[in-house]
Structure 1
């Protein structure tokens, strides 16, 4: 995996970052039949009008009765930014552990982790019984949980927060941005840009590699 002990970790957001212009939940809601309602709720979250719990409960209700196996095919068509494979490979070659830190549902995190070779993922979970979703949330997970899970993993890897980077685009990334040594706002909202170490606008995720390379030279 790595030629020696990792020198750092990079936490990548999913929705709006790896999934450009939309979210994985809105993509899946198109199959589930509540796309418009969810898109409005996500816009309200981005504006600070509602919290993540409210959005998650609204979305989860639309999953009731769906079998877990159906989701795999839906995720194959998930719109993704170019350059994910190459960016993950670059991180691994350079001793940076690539991790998904996201508010996307766990089937999304699991799918992208397996598909692109991320080290692991964190995120909210939907309740299932007998292989079918119940329409309830099994585990809520907000922007502060996202930060805490990332920092806990860094500790497990023996890495201080200053040796870690975060790549994200919006409100859900702000607590993590404030807690790591390097933050990259990628095609981001004004709020994320203002909170980040550096902002990058690019149609290819490899645009974040020059700023991430600072993690290779920064003393621990």
Structure 2
């Protein structure tokens, strides 16, 4: 099957509406307050993504990979994801995750809903447990570059790609695709995107996706 395009979806604040996936896991790992404070400082531009990742990864030390995978089954997600990914596949649009969430989060959501996982930071693993270190850093520019690389690997021109996100970490990707949607977004992402909506159901992005799809024929 020949792809017609790629739709990139952010995770935290977009597919995970009520809290970040990192905060969800940190509540179970025992360091939620420290991570929430770090993420607020990241949003304010006071910490880099790498600094937040180091703070968060330390809290994973000694926790089994299996435990994290099980916790992620209960991760709160926006309604309508199945409908949107089904629409994408039926129109030969590849739904791809483009996110700064940890790789186990991307892998879990990809497996459940049929997305392609594409990057993200990685906590080190020793045996069957996490070791508390950052094995791979991943920032908003890596997110953009990994998306561009995937489009090239798929043979899909960037003019046939779109992106959906909510925060400043999405802006570099918004800047390289011709069409972008700020979903339940902050001011910076809304200003950078071509369109913005507020909704509690991802199915409400379908009219926007349909209009974008008509433009790539």
TM-score, normalised relative to structure 2: 0.97
C-alpha contact (below 8 Å) 1:164/1:215 kept by paired residues: no
Residue 16 (structure 2) aligns with: 19
Match of 1:43 in 2: 40
What value does the CA root-mean-square deviation take over the aligned residues? Answer: 1.0
Matched, 1:192 2:189: yes
SS state of the match for residue 136, structure 1?
Answer: strand
Counterpart position of 1:209? 206
| Residues matched between the structures, number | 217
Name stretches of at least 5 consecutive residues in structure 2 with no aligned partner: none
Residue 118 of structure 1 and its aligned partner are, at CA, apart by 0.7
Matched, 1:176 2:173: yes
8 Å CA contact retained: 2:159, 2:216? no
1:89 aligns with 2:60: no
Distance in structure 2 (CA, Å) of the matches to 1:47 and 1:96: 34
Partner residue in 1 for 2:148 = 151
- 1:11 alignment partner, SS class: strand
1:71-112 Cα distance to aligned partner (Å, 9 max, x none): 122111111000001100001111110000110101101101
Distance 2:184 2:55 in 1: 27
Runs of 4+ in 1 over 6 A off after TM superposition: none
Q: Which residue of structure 1 lines up, in the alignment, with residue 129 of structure 2? A: 132
The answer on whether the counterparts of 2:22 and 2:102 sit within 8 Å (CA) in structure 1 is: yes
**TM-score, length-normalised on structure 1?**
0.96
User: Do the aligned partners of 1:201 and 1:207 also contact (CA within 8 Å) in 2?
Assistant: no
SS for the counterpart of 1:217 is helix
Deviation at 1:119, TM superposition (A): 2.5
Quote how far apart the aligned CAs of 1:213 are.
1.6
Task: Using the TM superposition, give the Cα deviation of residue 219 of structure 1 relative to its aligned residue in structure 2, in angstroms.
Answer: 4.1
CA contact (8 A) 1:113 1:121 kept: no
Specify the alignment match of 2:120 in structure 1.
123
Match of 2:164 among 167, 172, 176: 167
Q: Deviations over 1:148-178 (max 9, x none)?
A: 0001000111111111010000011000000
Q: Which of 66, 73, 76 is residue 76 of structure 1 equivalent to?
A: 73
